[in-house]
Amino acid sequence: MPLLIKNADIVNADSRYSADILCADDVITRIAPSIESSPGTEVIDAAGRLVFPGFIDPHTHIYLPFMGTFSKDDYASGTKAALVGGTTTIFEMVCPSRQMSHAEGFAVWHKQAQGRACCDYGFHMGVTRFDDNSAAELREIVAQGVGSFKVFLAYKGAFGVEDTELWNTLSLARELGVVVAAHCENETLVAEMQARLLAAGRTGPDAHYESRPPRVEAEGVHHLCTFAEFTGATVYVVHLSCREALAAAIDARARGVMVFVETLIQYLLLDKTWAERPGFQGAKYVMSPPLRDQANQEVLWNGLAGGLVQTVATDHAPFDFASQKTMGRDDFTRIPNGIPAIEDRVTLLWTHGVKTGRLSLEQFVAVASTNAARIFGLWPRKGVIQPGADADLVIWDPDYRGIISARNQTQAVDYNAFEGMPIEGRPAVVTVRGEVAVRDGRFCGTEGRGRFLQCHRTP
């Protein structure tokens, strides 16, 4: 059914204006000062609200076999939670084990998503080893619509790649015009410091931070960028958490390296004291890189406002506290790493970014939607409200007031890291390609309607 949104206060990354928006057959067909409705058209009055392009989470792990367990969401619960929070597109990390081929991994993740995903999704193809078959497999995967690879410079013995594998991945990416996302921490330094801390009897979650201090992350960023410099690849640093790592990226940019930077809503709002909470509660806040000293938050907010940091993601990796985080009760290195956030990223960014004046409305749209669409080859299909774009729209209620709680969340995990935090605004209506998928905090869309997105980067 066609959809007409009347009285829309449209906000794009580079513009704000009032108009009506007509949607049909998945896309925005017309934007004009006044559009008459025709019979059979659903009409929504957006007066008093803002209308944003659907938000994009460029880094999620809905399905993740990791550290001896599996992340808790499936594609139905994870994408419903995304939509409730205004995220209409996710980029999932395909993370095959080092024993799996890339082709197998790609097929497994497709199977998980197909028929379950409620919003559209792209894949970053994890390159967790590089052997004689890898180049051919990765070429085929790129031909099937993947526009980005993912490498881990961390997680020794699991997903982490050696330097020759890194070189080969970046060289292939450069040839294919594919951007390479990277988890940047020096895996050897982490492994050695973990061992040293455990030997000293430091087994609790508070030791996690000390095993991966800022310089270890900065070394990872410097390492990646040096390889990018000599291969000519474009790279994207995922979940950057601290001043030292940002400085390494800025330094590389000054040398001509094409490097983009992502931070997370977790790093903007939570600090390392959360992982030091007593009674093993800190395990809820164990992720890598770890939560940092509070002083880093201002650096990251300023980085977003100043264009040094391009995107805000979640790295959504949901592990139950009661049955999964406790796997590391006697050894912090066994706590499954990750802090779920897919549902709350946008409302928190709005509350702490826009409402506080740290970000303009346009910057908010850029870092939560448009920049990811541009970097990963989805723009102008996603990330902008204009004729021809997919009709992924978020009608935003700036007057809503609420409190975040696991008790009423959609994501399938037994805690919420932002429990008790107030939010000042939320999506009133969310559409996925013209179909209303959320009304007032409840999913009402179609399970399985989400599509795999073909990403084509134009360098």
Residues of this chain that bind ligand URP (CB under 6 A): 61, 183, 239, 287-288, 315, 317, 337-338
Contact 245, 239 (CB under 8 A): no
Selection from Zn ion, ligand URP, none that 12 binds (CB < 5 to 8 A by kind) is none
At 280, list the tokens: 């093993």
What's the min distance (Å) between Cβ of 446 and ligand URP? 29
Backbone angles phi, psi at 50, to 5 degrees: -105, 155
Contact 283, 326 (CB under 8 A): yes
Using alpha carbons, select from 443, 416, 403, 407 the residue that is nearest to residue 319.
416
DSSP letters, 137-174, are HHHHHHHTT--EEEEES-STTTT---HHHHHHHHHHHH
Selection from Zn ion, ligand URP, none that 338 binds (CB < 5 to 8 A by kind) is ligand URP
Question: 183 or 223, CB closer to Zn ion?
Answer: 183
Question: 181 or 384, CB closer to ligand URP?
Answer: 181
What's the min distance (Å) between Cβ of 403 and ligand URP? 26
What's the min distance (Å) between Cβ of 271 and ligand URP? 16
By CB under 5 A, is residue 183 in contact with Zn ion? yes
Contact 302, 99 (CB under 8 A): no
Selection from ligand URP, Zn ion, none that 11 binds (CB < 5 to 8 A by kind) is none
State the residue for tokens 């957006």. Answer: 46
What's the min distance (Å) between Cβ of 132 and ligand URP? 27
What residues contact 294, with CB distance under 8 A and at least 6 apart? Answer: 271, 273
Q: How far apart are CA 142 and CA 177, in angstroms?
A: 10
The piece of 183-191, 242-250, 269-277, 417-425 that touches Zn ion (CB under 5 A) is 183-191
Question: 287 or 391, CB closer to ligand URP?
Answer: 287
What's the min distance (Å) between Cβ of 183 and Zn ion? 3
Question: 310 or 314, CB closer to ligand URP?
Answer: 314
Question: 257 or 313, CB closer to Zn ion?
Answer: 313
Question: Positive or negative CA dihedral for 108, 114, 117, 119?
Answer: positive
* Strand-strand pairing, 27-32 and 435-439: unpaired
The piece of 156-164, 179-187, 197-205, 424-432 that touches Zn ion (CB under 5 A) is 179-187
Question: 266 or 369, CB closer to Zn ion?
Answer: 266
CB-closest chain residue to Zn ion: 183
Q: How far apart are CA 70 and CA 336, in angstroms?
A: 9
Question: 290 or 445, CB closer to Zn ion?
Answer: 290
Using alpha carbons, select from 448, 402, 419 the residue that is nearest to residue 341.
419
Using alpha carbons, select from 409, 288, 341 the residue that is nearest to residue 87.
341
Question: 31 or 113, CB closer to ligand URP?
Answer: 113
Selection from Zn ion, ligand URP, none that 337 binds (CB < 5 to 8 A by kind) is ligand URP
Q: What kind and span of H or E run contains 453?
A: none
In sequence order, the β-bridge partners of residue 8 are 19
At 181, list the tokens: 């996302």
What's the min distance (Å) between Cβ of 316 and ligand URP? 9
Span 313-342, contacts to Zn ion by CB under 5 A: 315
What's the min distance (Å) between Cβ of 109 and Zn ion? 14
Binding residues vs Zn ion (CB under 5 A): 183, 315
